[in-house]
Structure 1
Amino acid sequence: SMGGRGDAPQLIIPSLRGDEGYMTLSSAFVDAGGLDYTSLPPITFNARGASAVDVADVDGNGYPDVLFAVHRKGETAFSTKSPLFLGTPLGMRETPDHEFPTTGASDVLLRDLDGDGYKDVVFAQERKGTDDYAINSTLFWGSEDGWSDLPDLEFSTSGATGVVAADLDGDGDLDLAFSCYRAVSTVTQSMVFLQNASGTYGADPSYSLPTRGARAVTAGDVDGDGHVDLVFANSIYQGFAETASFVYWGKAGGGYENVPAQFQSSGAEDVLLEDLDGDEDLDIVLANQWDDGLNRDIDSF
C-alpha cells in the first residue's frame, strides 16, 4: 500500500512528457474511499520521460516497490537511467534506491524469472536515436546483493516496445515475448526467447513472428486448447494505421502456427486479455490511437 483509506488499487501513471518537454514527474493516485482518486494528493516520483512501470515487492518487506522504464530525457537523448523506488511503512522513498542504465526503454518487467527468489528485471528497448531502432533489450538478474551495474544478458531485438513473461512452451519455466515496432521498416519480426534448461536465455530468438509496427504483446490461452497464444497490437502497415492486429496460436510442444489470426485495429498501442463477460473465455481489449487520417477521436475495443 502507498497510503489512502480505500480498498481499491493505486493507479500509477508513468509520464513521458508534458508541456515543458520530458520533465513531467510520474505519479500515483490513491483511493480515498469509494473509488475517490481526487481527494488525496498524488504521490510523485522523480521519474521523467517514463513510458512504462511495473510493481513488485523486491526486498520482501511487504510493501510494493516501483520500477519505471524511462524512454528518454530529451528530444534526442535516449541513453539514460530507469529508477527503482522501494516502498516502506512510511510510504515511498523520494529518491531512487537503484537506477538501471537503459536506452529508449519502452516497457519493463519486474519478475522472478528463474525461480531463485529474487526479482529479475527486463527492459524492452525501442531506439537509441530518432530513427535508429538498432538497440538490444536487456535483462538484469536479481540476487541477494541486488543487480549488476550492467545488463547480464542482451536480447537481439530491434525497436522493442513491449515484453511479457509466460510459460510459452509448457515446460514450467517463464519465457519472454517481445513486441517489436521497427527494424528496416515496421514490417518486422517480434520475438520469443525460451528459457533453457540452465535457467537462462539465448541472445537470439527461439521464434521470430512477423508483425506490423507492433506496440504491445500479451499472452494467454485465447482459444482454450491448453496452449499459450500471443496477441500483438499492430500500429501501422505500409503507411496505414487501420491495420489488423495478430493472434499467433500456440502449438503442442511449443511454436506457433505460421499464419496468425487477424482482427481489426486502428493504430493500436496496447492490448490486454481478460474475461470481461464471465464466460471463462479470454476477451481481447485493444487501445487504439488514431485512424488513417490521424484522427484520434476513435473508439478502442
Structure 2
Amino acid sequence: MKRVWAIFGAFGVLFCAQLTAAVPFEPLRQYETGYASTGIYAGDLDGDGDVDLAVSNRGTSDITILYNNGLSLFPTSDAFGTGEGPRYVDGGDFDGDGDIDLYTPDYHGLTTTILRNNGDGTFEPWHAYLMGKPAFLWTDDLDGDGYEDIIVLDWDIDSDPPSQNPAKFVPLFNDGEGNFTPGDHAMIGVQPRGGASADLNGDGIKDAITANLASNSFSVVLGLGKRQWADGIEIQVNGGPRYVTLGDFDDDGDIDFVGIDKTYSKLWVFHNDGSANFSQVATSSTSNNPHSIANADMDGDGDLDLVVTHVSSAQSLVYFNNGQGLFPTTQVVYMYTGPAEVKIADVNGDGDLDIVSANVNLATKGASVVLQGTCDGFDCNQNGIGDECDLPDCNWNLVPDECDIEAGDSIDLDGNGVPDECQDDCNENDVPDSLDIALGTSEDCNGNDIPDECDWDDPGDCDGDGIVDGCEADENNDSLPDDCQCIEDLDGSAEVDVLDLLIIISEWGPSHSPADLNYDGIVDVLDLLLILDAWGECDAFIPNIRGACCLDNGNCTYVYEIICGINDGDYMGDYVPCDKVECD
C-alpha cells in the first residue's frame, strides 16, 4: 500500500476554537434492546410510512427492531438472531421487493449475515457469508447495475497476526435477487473501524475511505472500473481513526471527509481538491472517546453539519458548518449509557432531522432517540414542559403519567406514581404484582417479587400441604422438597427398616454422607433416633426415576420430574436421556 502524510493547506491546519450554537431538542428517550448494542440503522422497516430502528447487539448476537407507532415513539420491539457478535447493522432492498432487508458483520462469528424482510418488519435468516473477521460494512451500488451491493471491511486472517497487518476492502456483489458474490479485494490499513463510499475523483466510479485504528491512518480506495479497486493510499494521522463520514462539506462539488480520533479525542476535517487528494484543514476537540460520526443539515441552512457520539461521555456534540466546510460552533446534546453508533433521520416526519444512537453500556437503555423540537403545546401539570415531551410517560400516550393519574385516565392503586397498566400484573387481575404481594392476596414464598402462582408453569405440591414445591424446605440441598422425601430410607426401599439401621451403624462417626440425617457433620445416636422415629413405610416417597429436563436457557439436565418442575423446565419423560432430545 502507498503511504502519504496528510496534505496541509497553504494556511496550515486550523485548530478550531469552539463556539456554541443552538438547535432545539426534545428530552432524550431511551429504549430497551439486547446486550452491548453498538450499531443502529434507521428506516421504514414495516412499510407503514414512518422510521423504525434496527439495533445490533453484540452481547446477545441478535438485532432488536424498534417499531415506530406513528407518534415517534417505539413501544413495541422484536429480536431476530444473527451470527455471533454483530457489531453493526445496515439495510437495503436486496431482492427488489420494496422492503428493507438487513445485514450484520458478525465479528466473532466470522460471517456476514443477511436477514430477509418478510414485508412486515419481521426478519428471517437468509444468507451467512464466511469472512475473516468482519469489522464494519455498508451498502452502495458499487458497479452501477442498479442493485445494492455490500462492502465489508475484513481482517486478513491469512496474515500473522491479523490484528497487526493490513485488512481487506471486500465487495459483495448483488445479483438483484439478494444473492451476493465476493469480488476482488483491495488492501487497506490495520484494524479498520469505519468506512464510506462515494465518487471521490469525479470519474463516475465509486471509491471509498476507511478509518484504520491500529495503523493511525485513513485509506483512500480508488475504483478502477470493472469491479476492481486499487489498494488503499494511506493518509497518516497522529491518532487513532475510529469512524469516518463523507460529504461535500465546503460546497465545491467534490466529496470531502471528516474522521474522529479515538486516541486523543479529536475531529479531523479533510477537504478534497477534486482529484481525491485530501488536505487536513481543521482539527477540533471532541468529548471523551468518540465512537461514531454522521452528517446532515441539522440547522436547515443548506450545508452539512456533524454529530459525534462518545462511548465514554454523555456529551454528544453537534458541529455546525459555517458554509466553508469548517465547524467552529458546537452544541452539546446529552445522550447517556454509552452512545456508540449514531445516525441522523427524520423520525417524526416533521421535516427536521433527529438523532438516534445505539448504546453499549445498558441494555434497558440500549437505544436513544433525540427529536428536534421545542416542546410547545398543552402543559397539563403546568411545569413548563409540553405534554408530548414530559416524562415519564409509561403508556406512550404523550401525556405525562402524573396527569393520566390525576385525570383518572390511569389507576394507581399502590400510590407509587406509576400507572397500574405499566406495572407487572402476571395474574392479570388488574392489581400490580407488588401490591398483590403486599396485601397478601398473592404469596411470594421465595421473595423474588413474583407471585407464586406466576413463578412456575406447574407449581406442584408434592405433599398436598398447600405450599408449592419450589418453596418447601430443602435442608439437605438436593433440590427436592424435604417433605416429599423419606430421607431416613437410606436404601431406597420405600420403608425404614433394619437395613437403614445397619447403614447408620456402618457410617458411624464424622461424616457428611446421607446417613447424617440431621446434617450436623457426624453420624451418631441422634441420627439413630431419627431412624427409629420414622420406622415403617414411608409417608412420602419419590421413586428413583429421572429424565431429561429442558430448561429455559436451552440446556438439558437429567433430574427428577419434581426438580424439573421447580426449575420451570420441560420434563421430556422418564429415563429419557439428554442426548436424545433437542432443547430450544
- Fold equivalence (TM over 0.5): yes
Change (3 A) 1:36 1:300: closer
- Measure how far apart 1:46 and its partner are: 2.1
Query: 1:99 corresponds to which residue?
Result: 185
Q: Which of the residues 147, 159, 162 maps onto 1:77? A: 162
- Can you list the C-alpha shifts for 1:22-49, whole angstroms capped at 9, x where unaligned? xx311111123333422xx421222242
One-letter code aligned to 2:107: L
After superposition, where does 1:8-157 map in structure 2 within 5 Å? 8-18=99-109, 24-38=110-124, 41-70=125-154, 73=157, 77-78=162-163, 79=165, 80-89=167-176, 91-94=178-181, 96-102=182-188, 103-128=190-215, 135-144=216-225, 146-148=228-230, 150-156=231-237
Change (3 A) 1:260 1:33: closer
Instruction: Tell me how far apart the structure 1 counterparts of residues 299 and 202 of structure 2 sit (CA, whole Å).
Output: 28
Partners of 2:217 and 2:234 within 8 A in 1? no
- Measure how far apart 1:71 and its partner are: 5.4
Partners of 1:162 and 1:179 within 8 A in 2? yes
Change (3 A) 1:277 1:89: closer
Query: Which structure would you say has the larger Rg?
Result: 2
Change (3 A) 1:226 1:70: same
- Measure how far apart 1:64 and its partner are: 2.4
After superposition, where does 1:1-301 map in structure 2 within 5 Å? 2-3=94-95, 6-18=97-109, 24-38=110-124, 41-70=125-154, 73=157, 77-78=162-163, 79=165, 80-89=167-176, 91-94=178-181, 96-102=182-188, 103-128=190-215, 135-144=216-225, 146-148=228-230, 150-156=231-237, 158-183=239-264, 188-196=265-273, 198-202=274-278, 205-211=280-286, 212-236=288-312, 242-257=313-328, 259-266=329-336, 267-290=338-361, 295-301=362-368
- Measure how far apart 1:158 and its partner are: 2.7
Bigger RCO (CA 8 Å, 6+ sep)? 2
Change (3 A) 1:76 1:251: same
- Can you list the C-alpha shifts for 1:174-216, whole angstroms capped at 9, x where unaligned? 1101122114xxxx222111112x42233x5211121121111
- Can you list the C-alpha shifts for 1:109-141, whole angstroms capped at 9, x where unaligned? 12212331101021111125xxxxxx2110111
Query: What is the percentage of aligned positions where both structures have the same residue?
Result: 22
- Measure how far apart 1:13 and its partner are: 0.9
Instruction: Tell me how far apart the structure 1 counterparts of residues 245 and 325 of structure 2 sit (CA, whole Å).
Output: 16
Partners of 1:193 and 1:201 within 8 A in 2? no
Change (3 A) 1:48 1:59: same
Change (3 A) 1:113 1:297: same
Instruction: Tell me how far apart the structure 1 counterparts of residues 353 and 178 of structure 2 sit (CA, whole Å).
Output: 36
Instruction: Tell me how far apart the structure 1 counterparts of residues 113 and 209 of structure 2 sit (CA, whole Å).
Output: 22
- Can you list the C-alpha shifts for 1:65-100, whole angstroms capped at 9, x where unaligned? 211012575996322323212222565345x21212
Query: 1:131 corresponds to which residue?
Result: none
Between the two proteins, the alignment pairs up a number of residues equal to 269
Instruction: Tell me how far apart the structure 2 counterparts of residues 76 and 269 of structure 1 sit (CA, whole Å).
Output: 27
- Measure how far apart 1:153 and its partner are: 4.5
Change (3 A) 1:76 1:248: farther
TM-score by length of 1: 0.80
- Can you list the C-alpha shifts for 1:227-272, whole angstroms capped at 9, x where unaligned? 3211111122xxxxx4301111111333122x52111123211111
Paired residue secondary structure (2:106): coil
Partners of 1:27 and 1:45 within 8 A in 2? yes
Paired residue secondary structure (1:252): coil
Change (3 A) 1:110 1:56: same
Instruction: Tell me how far apart the structure 1 counterparts of residues 209 and 179 of structure 2 sit (CA, whole Å).
Output: 22
Paired residue secondary structure (2:367): coil
TM-score by length of 2: 0.43
Instruction: Tell me how far apart the structure 1 counterparts of residues 243 and 106 of structure 2 sit (CA, whole Å).
Output: 17
Which runs of no fewer than 5 residues in structure 1 stay unpaired?
Answer: 19-23, 129-134, 237-241
Instruction: Tell me how far apart the structure 1 counterparts of residues 145 and 331 of structure 2 sit (CA, whole Å).
Output: 44
One-letter code aligned to 1:45: Y
Instruction: Tell me how far apart the structure 1 counterparts of residues 210 and 325 of structure 2 sit (CA, whole Å).
Output: 24
Change (3 A) 1:299 1:109: closer
Instruction: Tell me how far apart the structure 2 counterparts of residues 113 and 81 of structure 1 sit (CA, whole Å).
Output: 19
Structure 1 stretches of at least 4 aligned residues deviating more than 4 Å after TM superposition: 71-76
Partners of 2:198 and 2:255 within 8 A in 1? no
* Structure with the bigger percentage of helix: 2
- Measure how far apart 1:157 and its partner are: 5.9
Partners of 1:109 and 1:123 within 8 A in 2? yes
Instruction: Tell me how far apart the structure 2 counterparts of residues 141 and 157 of structure 1 sit (CA, whole Å).
Output: 23
Instruction: Tell me how far apart the structure 2 counterparts of residues 252 and 55 of structure 1 sit (CA, whole Å).
Output: 28
Which runs of no fewer than 5 residues in structure 2 stay unpaired?
Answer: 1-92, 369-584
One-letter code aligned to 2:104: I
Further displaced range: 161-170 or 107-116: 107-116
Instruction: Tell me how far apart the structure 1 counterparts of residues 144 and 123 of structure 2 sit (CA, whole Å).
Output: 27
Change (3 A) 1:164 1:221: same
